[in-house]
Structure 1
């Protein structure tokens, strides 16, 4: 319990510094990497009973609500993330799957046209490509937008011809309200040690479960188990039944099914045991 309290206090201090740097116009040091390096044995366990709390906001926001991030599965690999300050982020945005309002930020990956568009809605203020248009270069994203810090970790992807496109995919990481939220994008290869180090801690992980169009279920399950996020949100479902992916965990993770369309999560409400939460609409 003391270790949990220490971890929570450390995160709170980092979050305060994070906010101050944002107000000064500078970019923060990644809290996800810092906590992962400084508290290797700490987990942000729930201060409530186990299980993700799915809540609906009232007219007056409590302190707890100001710490909450809302996540809605929109379709394919697109999740819509809403921060406490109201920044809306659509992941792997192609324009086909639309959230209920225009996003402030969209992230994209280069593997397939269902994961990006070169003609996004002009009303979207921030369009973040997970690849570089300059051969041999990496996309290098460090953006402070409202109350969320967005960064990326690049990975290679397969091409239609069977070759390799270096750095064609980005794992996007969203650091907000003390949470570290990661979206694996169109991940084709298991991560190496340098990439795991660069990622750091992820509390919430969005993972493709297509069974082979990205990676096979066994390879993907190894990545998920290594990252050991508190909350795992499946996406990109094709091919084998979802149960094929879920069976890979053999009791190591809890399995739950969302009762509402929008998942509300905070650092305080993360489940004690790593949980795969299947969203509505998958």
Structure 2
């Protein structure tokens, strides 16, 4: 009799265990979508003017790209800005002021940053390009960067001055958000459109164009790039939160407000 009672208790406990720890979790996964009850991860993008872009991932990783110095452009550098990673496309004064960032960031500088760079568990890939159409013979080399935060692929082209080769495109892969330097007069609008198309970018954010704070830099103003374009959204802020679901299905240009 005792054996029979023990057997009943065992099977009762087994049934309870199976119901709560096996069947119900499987049922929940099949009934509810994977993201049910979860908040989508988003990346905060800030544009500080010229080519200086700053991103914060949902986990708090802070990435500063092409921070400007004091001599060329007239934008005000943000006070006590901290970063975990700093990416510098060239040693031009308007793009190379990594020492102005606070904290103890890992700094990847121009040509020495070509290739994969591991920082804070993320790969920041540097791709060698040029600041002119003569393989750098006039203005030197440029390092473009591609990396992923919160499952979104970002690319910052630095001071790129030419369309991309097949080999360079293969290194980039498909890009979601593209920081596009539109001011360089060596690139026509057709060149810029080809670059965005070749990279498959869905969200294009223009940077490094002429404003009242560009100093003596001889660069193209924003309206020259936007001529004839209809897929343009003017953002009434210098910052933007972006998640995967915010990416448009077709290419759109988001113009951030001048800081």
CA RMSD of aligned residues (A): 2.5
Q: How far apart are 1:209 and its partner, in Å? A: 1.2
Alignment match, 1:145: 120
- In the alignment, structure 1 segments of 5+ residues that lack a partner are 1-61, 133-137
> What CA distance in whole angstroms lies between the structure 1 residues aligned with 2:60 and 2:44?
10
1:174 to 147, 156, 160: 147
Alignment match, 1:246: 226
Alignment match, 1:90: 64
Alignment match, 2:258: 281
> What CA distance in whole angstroms lies between the structure 2 residues aligned with 1:89 and 1:95?
17
Alignment match, 1:103: 83
| Residues 232-252 of structure 1: per-residue CA shift (max 9 Å, x gap) | 00000024432221226x44x
Q: How far apart are 1:152 and its partner, in Å? A: 1.5
Q: Specify the SS of the correspondent of 1:79.
A: strand
| Residues 45-70 of structure 1: per-residue CA shift (max 9 Å, x gap) | xxxxxxxxxxxxxxxxx8334x1001
Alignment match, 2:240: 263
Alignment match, 2:163: 190
- In the alignment, structure 2 segments of 5+ residues that lack a partner are 1-36, 71-75, 211-218
Contact 2:85 2:119 in 1 (8 A): no
Contact 1:181 1:202 in 2 (8 A): yes
- Pair 1:192–1:70, CA change in 2 (3 A): same
2:39 to 64, 78, 85: 64
Q: How far apart are 1:164 and its partner, in Å? A: 4.5
| Residues 13-44 of structure 1: per-residue CA shift (max 9 Å, x gap) | xxxxxxxxxxxxxxxxxxxxxxxxxxxxxxxx
Alignment match, 2:200: 228
Alignment match, 1:16: none
Q: How far apart are 1:129 and its partner, in Å? A: 0.8
Contact 1:80 1:99 in 2 (8 A): no
Alignment match, 1:123: 103
| Residues 248-271 of structure 1: per-residue CA shift (max 9 Å, x gap) | 6x44xx100113332011112211
1:207 to 173, 180, 183: 180
> What CA distance in whole angstroms lies between the structure 2 residues aligned with 1:144 and 1:105?
7
Q: Specify the SS of the correspondent of 1:113.
A: coil
Larger Rg: 2
The structure with higher relative contact order (CA 8 Å, sep 6+) is 1
